[in-house]
Each structure stands twice: as C-alpha cells, then as structure tokens.
Amino acid sequence: MKKSRWPPTLLTDLTKIEFVKEQRRLLFFVNRAAVCLLLSFLIMVLSTFRLRLFSSLAFLCTFLSCQELIDAPVPSLHWDKFEAASATPLLPADCQKLEGIYRIEVADDDFGDSAVLKWSWDITGTDTTHYLSIFCQEAVRYFILQGKASGDSVLLNGYWRNVENTKTGKARFVIANRRTVFGPDSAAQGSVFLRGHYGMFDSDPEKEVNFRFKRPLKEDSSFLVIAHRGGGRNNDLLPASENSLEMIHLASRLGATGIEIDVQLTKDSVPVLYHDTRLNDRLTKDAGIRGELAEYTYDELTSEVTLKRGGRIPTLQDALHTAVYNTPIRFIWLDCKGESTLRRIRALQESFLQKAKAAGRNVEIVIGIPTEEQYGHFRRLAG
C-alpha cells in the first residue's frame, strides 16, 4: 500500500475569533441566568403550593428552552446591472487573471493593508458557477463574489462577512477597462483596480472599499487549504451545517483545495458524515430522536433529523461524489470515528480514487486513523 504524505496546510491563528465567540456565549448565559434568577424570586414570593409548582415548571421549561441560535444569513444579492441581459459570465481564463495579492487603498472600516483574491468554482445541477473569494488581512473579513462582463467593465456581485460576529452585507465592485485588463498583454494585470462598495445586511452598498493589484499568487501545487468538518463548524456562523453537502460547496467557493470530514456508521452500516457520537442540539435542530447515532438506520436519520443550519445527514458516498464531480477540491481527509467503519470507508476510498482518475481529476483521498490498534486493523484490510 502506498504511504500517503502529509501535505502542508494553511494554519490560521483563530485565538481572537475563539475569544470573541466565548464572550458571546458568556453574555448569552449571563442573560439566561438573569431570567432564571427573576423566576426564582417570583417562586419565593408566591404563597400557595399550586402556584409554586406551576412557577417551578415554568422555570424549568424556560431554562431548558433557552438555547443559543445565532445566524448570519446571506443577504439578498439582486443587482439590476448584474442581472441585465447584456451582462455575461466571465470566462474561466479571465477569472484567473484577477487572482493575486492586492493592496487595500480605501476602506471605511479597517480591512487591513492587504487582501488575497482567488477564484474557484462549483457545480450545482448542470450549472457551473465561478466564485471570487477575497480574504482581508484584518478582522477575519472575506467576500464571496460572482463576476460578469458588461460592456468594457467587469461587475463583481456578492456579499461580505466578518467571522468574528454576525456582521454581513451586500458587496459590489466594478473593474474598468476590461478589454485591456483581459487582453493578451500580461503586463496589464498590474493595472487591475477593483472599485467597490459594501453595505450592512440587506441595505444598499454605500461604504467604499477598493483593491489594487500588487503581485500574483505564487504557484505551488503542494500547498493545500484544508477546510475542517467540510468547511466550518456550526458556531462559525456560516450559512451551512458542518459536515454537510452544502458546506462542501461553500468550502469550494471560499477557495479551499481540501476538506476534512468526519465519518461513522449507522445501525445498518451506512457511512455518514457526523462529528459527535450522539444526536444532540449542537449539531441538529427539531430532531424527533436522540441518543447514539449508531442506534438508528440511515432512513430513520434522514426522516427524523435536520442539521443545525439545514440539510440532512449525508452519506459518505454523496459527499465524495460532490467533492470529486462538483468542486475543484483535490484532497479529502476522512476522519474515521471507529474501527467498524474502516472496511466500508476503504471500499469507498478505492472506488472514488478510480472514479476521479477516470474523470481526469487528480484527487487524493486519505483515511485518518486515530489509534495504533485501528491502524493495525486497517493494514490487515489493505494487505
């Protein structure tokens, strides 16, 4: 069996993000504690046993039902110019000419001094859509945009997000002199200038932010940006559930070149994507069942369980199909959650490696094994 190398990965310091999130969680629980203390006081002053019993039940229901649910929804992206019949999608070759390191020249808020622009794509149904992701130096702010040509201009339309909180909004950019920028002269890339505006939530973009091309990205095929849990955790306030097909699509739009996904087996031995061993409020909402995931069949899970930010628990087969055929992702890490999953995962790994090769895709699929004992079991399977 070929020994897989560990690829270099993009490491990001998330200390500041986690600190802000912990502050938000602390504020939530302080508010809940205040409500509970008020109810406790009311219980103490009520005189009759019946009223005390009623108040105690109300107190318990209030405490148990106070669950944090913070969303940062994607704003409406309608823009008349962008939707006009005369605006046509950019060609993939033109998209790549916009990639690079950019200098941030004007910004009403602090985005930092530099930003990275990178194009990616994904396929939904029969439609292939290209996305430009912009990651800014400060405040963990990013943009996801689509591009169209309109006359001698390029229109970029999408939204921005601040990962530290729920701030988001519309974003629109215009690049003038399209025919010069995308012409045969490679030196013209240095003149790329994105003049843009962004807004808060669904308000019209009015705040100014501009990007000027500084230098191209370094070409290094061994460098990977790997998205954890398919692209992000539920508490990262992304518009998709962790370990879902929607999250894999989002990871691709954000420019990830690899994903890590968590795999375990259902009662009827179907490999599915799910991180925790139990069905819980952290990962699901309005679920009609609770307990160990392995106690339920896949049909029971799909009919009774909805993931926290929407969608159903996907099978590993569907996840691999999405990554291989619908995204440019080229590295997939399968985090195996138990020894019993190894045989099933191994079979799917081999199958999709062959499918990727047949499709002309250079995809590496690696199985993560947590213990020496399971590694020995895996070697016997591979042997």
Average of per-residue pLDDT across 284-298 = 90
- Residue 239 sits at φ, ψ, to 5 deg, of -80, 40
Please, are residues 369 and 378 in contact by the beta-carbon 8 Å criterion? Answer: yes
Indicate the range of 3-7, 63-67, 110-114 predicted with least confidence: 3-7
pLDDT of residue 172: 98
User: 86 versus 50: which is more confidently predicted?
Assistant: 86
Q: φ, ψ for residue 359 (rounded to 5)? A: -85, 0
**Torsional sign, CA 337, 340, 346, 352:** negative
Using only C-alpha atoms, the chain has a radius of gyration, in whole angstroms, of 24
Give 260's contacts (C-beta < 8 A, 6+ positions apart).
Answer: 226, 227, 228, 229, 230, 333, 335, 368
Reply yes or no on whether the pLDDT at 15 is more than 70: no
Q: Residue 137 above 90 pLDDT?
A: no
What is the mean pLDDT of the segment spanning 2-28? 40
Mean pLDDT of the chain: 82
Is the predicted pLDDT of residue 9 greater than 80, yes or no? no
Q: What pLDDT does residue 181 have?
A: 79
One-letter identity of residue 76: S
Nearest Cα to 314, choosing from 279, 263, 272? 272
- DSSP readout, 249-284? HHHHHTT-SEEEEEEEE-TT--EEE-SSSEE-TTTE
Q: Which of 137-151, 239-253, 312-326, 338-352 has the weakest average pLDDT? A: 338-352
- Cα–Cα distance for residue pair 120/329, rounded to 1 Å: 10
Q: Please report the pLDDT score of residue 274 as a whole number.
A: 96
Q: Is 10 helix (H, G, I), strand (E, B) or coil?
A: coil
pLDDT band for position 43 (cuts 50, 70, 90)? low
pLDDT grade, residue 222 (50/70/90)?
confident
100-107 and 207-215 as β-strands: parallel, antiparallel, unpaired? antiparallel
| Mean pLDDT (whole number) for 308-314 | 93
In the three-class reduction of DSSP (H, G, I as helix; E, B as strand; rest coil), residue 381 is classed as: helix
pLDDT-derived band of residue 55, with 50, 70 and 90 as boundaries? low
Residue 29 has pLDDT above 80, yes or no: no
170 φ, ψ (degrees, to nearest 5): -70, 155
User: CATH number for the 226-382 domain, one of 2.60.120.10, 2.40.30.10, 3.20.20.190, 3.90.1640.10?
Assistant: 3.20.20.190
Residues 271-281 have a mean pLDDT of 94
Work out the burial of residue 215: count CB atoms within 10 Å of its CB; fewer than 13 is exposed, 13-18 middle, 19 or more buried.
exposed
Q: Is the dihedral of CA 55, 57, 61, 63 positive or negative?
A: positive
pLDDT at residue number 374: 76
Residue 168: how many other CB atoms lie within 10 Å = 23
**How would residue 52 be classed by pLDDT, with cut points 50, 70 and 90?**
low
Q: What is the predicted pLDDT for the residue at 34?
A: 56
Burial environment of residue 344 by CB neighbours within 10 A (0 to 12, 13 to 18, 19 or more): middle
Phi, psi angle pair for 80, to nearest 5°: -55, -45
Contacts of residue 154, defined as CB under 8 A and 6 or more positions apart, other chains included, come to 90, 94, 147, 148, 174, 175, 178, 181
Cα angle 180, 185, 187; round to 5: 95
pLDDT greater than 80 at residue 54: no
Q: Choose the weakest-confidence range: 66-75, 185-194, 268-277.
A: 66-75
pLDDT for position 13:
34
Residues in the chain: 383
Taking Cα atoms as reference points, which of 255, 256, 252, 228 lies closest to residue 242? 228
pLDDT bucket at 179, cuts 50 / 70 / 90: confident
> What is the percentage of the chain residues whose pLDDT exceeds 70?
79
**Domain boundaries in the chain?**
15-65, 80-215, 226-382
- Residue pair 100/75 in contact (Cβ under 8 Å)? The answer is no
* pLDDT at residue 220, as a whole number: 77
pLDDT tens digits, 225-252 = 999 999 888 777 888 999 999 999 999 9
What average pLDDT score do residues 6-16 get? 36
Q: Within 10 Å of residue 222's Cβ, how many Cβ atoms?
A: 7
Q: What angle (nearest 5°) sits at the alpha carbon of residue 172, between those of residues 129 and 217?
A: 65
